[in-house]
Amino acid sequence: MKIVVLPGDGIGPETTAVTVEVLQAVSRQFDLGLTLLHDVAGHDSLKKHGSTVTPALFDKVKQSDGLMLGPMATYDFKDEAKGEINPSMFFRKHLDLFANIRPARTYPGVRTITPEFDLIVVRENTEGFYADRNMAQGNGEILVTPEVGIALRRITRSCCERIARSAFELAMQRRKHVTLVHKHNVLKITDGIFLDACRAVAREFPQVTVDDFIVDAMMAHVVRSPARFDVIVTTNMFGDILSDLTAELSGSIGLGGSLNAGLDHAMGQAAHGSAPDIAGKDLANPLSAVLSAAMLLRWHGQRKQLAAFGAAAGAIESAVAKCVAEGNSTRDVGGNLGTQATGQALVKQLLQSSAN
């Protein structure tokens, strides 16, 4: 498996270094034969090449089996004419990574405000209110006058059907329960299409229990009793907000793995941002990036029917849980280690598991 590794901005190089250590460890342990292709995007690429994402890099990514994207300084990139492309948006849009898979679960040893839970948010990733990816040309936000702006929300039946199918297929591997989240009482046409498409796909999965909630009520239900949910599927912006909430309910957004997947490509990407205020201080939690890498390995293994990749993903997830439970992690999740030491603890845990 060839994985392009882009460290990103801010804390990205630190968390990516840990992720690389972990990937190399499981590659040896499970004989995966990983080849990690290191390159740059974001600020480093802008300085070196005049663009945050180059055509050569895009070609390299298209020819690889997966991409690990470090956090990017998205707010710094405002003018594409000057090469300031949002790398996360670029790869999601141009690789058609339509499914953003965001697991959230509680961990022993991490204090939370809720009882135990284990759920997954499946978020549509290519349209909705996201102005930078819902038009073939131009932008989905329009400035009519200096005081009047309009934002266009694109919802298509085909995109709704494929994200729904991703959610139902995932539910079949779990507790066979899918929750549809929408705002149909207000967005009657667009969320009407979303609900119709999801319910049509649901008929292909009669074993799966289906319910639905209006998005604002859903936020309250998730905070009150997250354990009642299994797989949650929703549109782009609702999923973005809801998945950050569920990750934080698990104890820290630093525990939120994230995979952006399409039919032919996938990108592991930590759920958090570049956090420039703590960059270079050995404080950043690398676990979100590590868990995202595990998801990328599992996606590849399922796609290629290679059981060793699923086993490696499971080993990484178990090592993360063990380290967190024992306090061998960063301070935000109850430990007392720095970024590098957390990576060393993870690798040590992987080696101990293989010895047993």
Gap between the Cα atoms of 194 and 184, Å rounded = 9
Query: In the annotation, is 130 catalytic?
Result: yes
pLDDT score of 257: 93
Residues 142 and 31 in one domain: no
Distance in angstroms (rounded) separating the CA atoms of residues 124 and 165: 11
Last residue of a domain, one of 236, 258, 284: 236
Asked if the structure places residue 335 within a domain, the reply is yes
**Token pair recorded at residue 194:** 């979303």
Catalytic choice (31, 59, 211, 216): 216
The confidence score (pLDDT) of residue 123 equals: 97
Residues 257 and 230 in one domain: no
Q: What is the pLDDT of residues 144-194, one digit of tens each?
A: 999 999 999 999 999 999 999 999 999 999 999 999 999 999 999 999 999
Q: Work out how many domains the chain is built from and give that number.
A: 2
Residue 188 burial (C-beta neighbours within 10 Å; 0-12, 13-18, 19+): exposed
Residue 96 is a catalytic residue: no
Return the pLDDT at 247: 92
In a domain, 185, yes or no: yes
Out of 197, 214, 236, a domain closes at 236
pLDDT of residue 78: 85
Report the pLDDT value the prediction gives residue 52, as an integer from 0 to 100. 95
Among 236, 258, 282, residue at a domain's last position: 236
140 within some domain: yes
Question: Per the domain annotation, does 93 fall within a domain?
Answer: no
Same domain, residue pair 125 and 206:
yes
Instruction: State the catalytic residue, choosing from 9, 65, 130, 230.
Output: 130
Phi/psi class of residue 40: alpha, beta or left (left: φ > 0; alpha: ψ in -120 to 50)? beta
Torsion of CA 79, 82, 86, 90, to 10 degrees: 120
Q: Which one of 96, 118, 244, 332 is the catalytic residue? A: 244
Q: Is 128 helix (H, G, I), strand (E, B) or coil?
A: strand
Please name which of 158, 155, 338 lies closest in space to residue 236, comparing C-alpha atoms.
Answer: 155
- 229 and 255 both lie in a single domain: no
- Is 261 in the same domain as 335? yes
- Residues 232 and 117 reside in one and the same domain: yes
Considering 65, 93, 183, 230, which one is annotated as catalytic? 183
266 & 164 share domain = no
- Say what the pLDDT of residue 355 is: 66
Q: Does residue 98 fall inside a structural domain?
A: no
Place of tokens 């990983």: 34
Q: What is the pLDDT of residue 136?
A: 78
- The reply to whether 196 belongs to the active site is no
Contact 88, 74 (CB under 8 A): yes
Of the residues 9, 107, 240, 322, only one is catalytic, namely: 240
Q: Is residue 187 part of a domain?
A: yes
**Regions of the chain where pLDDT drops below 50:** none
Q: Are residues 260 and 355 in the same domain?
A: yes
**Domain for residue 343, yes or no?**
yes
Same domain assignment for residues 36 and 140 = no
CB of 208 closer than 8 Å to CB of 202: yes
Residue 95 lies in a domain: no
Tell me the helices (H) and strands (E) count for the chain, helix number first: 11, 12
Q: Quick one: pLDDT at residue 81? A: 87
Please answer whether residues 37 and 65 qualify as being in contact, where contact means their C-beta atoms are separated by less than 8 angstroms: no
Which amino acid is present at 266?
A: A
What is the residue range of 5's domain?
1-86+250-356
Is 107 an annotated catalytic residue? no
Q: Are residues 122 and 228 in the same domain?
A: yes
Do 71 and 120 belong together in one domain?
no
Annotation says 240 is catalytic: yes
User: Residue 116 has what pLDDT?
Assistant: 94
User: What is the chain's length?
Assistant: 356
Same domain, 130 and 214: yes
> Which CATH number covers residue 71?
3.40.718.10
